[in-house]
Amino acid sequence: MEKNEQQMPRLGEPVPAFEAMTTKGKISFPDDYKGKWVILFSHPADFTPICTTEILTFGARTEEFRALNCELVGLSVDSRNSHIAWLKTIREKIEYKGMKDVKVGFPIIDDVAMKVASLYGMIQPGESQTAAVRAVFFVDPKGVLRAMIYYPLALGRNFDEIRRVLVGLQTIDAFGIALPADWRPGDEVIVPMKGDDQEKVPEGAKCYDWFFCTKPLPKEEIGRKLGEKV
């Protein structure tokens, strides 16, 4: 096993804890974020084009995520000074898809030694020995890893999907249901079933067979529960 390859974090388990310096000062993760959802994401390098589009997008949509009780934490294997210079360039010089003068308000971790990247399995030698892939970790308010998505270096992330996953996880927790393929807020949801006991099917549910039942869950009801227009 390569030195920088370690076991990846596992879904349903507490995320690995660490302390690190960031563009916003020192953080203790996940302790500093108790009671909040966190999206921890990595990018390969500062001053690169795909990463610039992603930081712009996360920066422009930060308040949208915060409205869902979710904080953002970024990382690359560059220094804090490099991050700060890059963010200054983005704000002062870059306009992309209507996004300009974007001030990034979330911390970006200084990880030159690749300690956090290695701890979270962000270094994938098949892609690069020295750069983190585009990993996304969804951490719940208890510090438990709930979902993760990995993208290769050459493919930028889908931010609507990142938001959909966050809202989906919060909806699952709030209503005790499951979600079908391509679910969006307002679509029908899956009713958890135990065996073939049809007597426990909730009123208003539609069953396709004994193991597969759905029910309506209006978008407005989700919004009221999550405290945000979803």
Domain ranges of the chain: 18-157, 176-226
Measured between alpha carbons, how far is 112 from 81 in angstroms, rounded to an integer?
11
Residue 2's pLDDT is what? 43
Positions marked catalytic: 51
Residue 205's pLDDT is what? 87
The annotated binding site for substrate is made up of 134
Residue 82's pLDDT is what? 96
Residue 176's pLDDT is what? 93
The domain made up of 18-157 is a member of CATH 3.40.50.150: no
Reported as type and span, the H/E element at residue 42 is strand 37-42
The annotated binding site is made up of 134
Measured between alpha carbons, how far is 91 from 106 in angstroms, rounded to an integer?
14
Report, as ranges of residue numbers, the positions in the chain whose pLDDT lies below 50. Answer: 1-5
Residue 128's pLDDT is what? 72
C-alpha distances out from residue 102 to 54, 63, 72, Å: 12, 12, 15
Q: Which of 225, 227, 230 is nearest to 173 (CA)?
A: 225
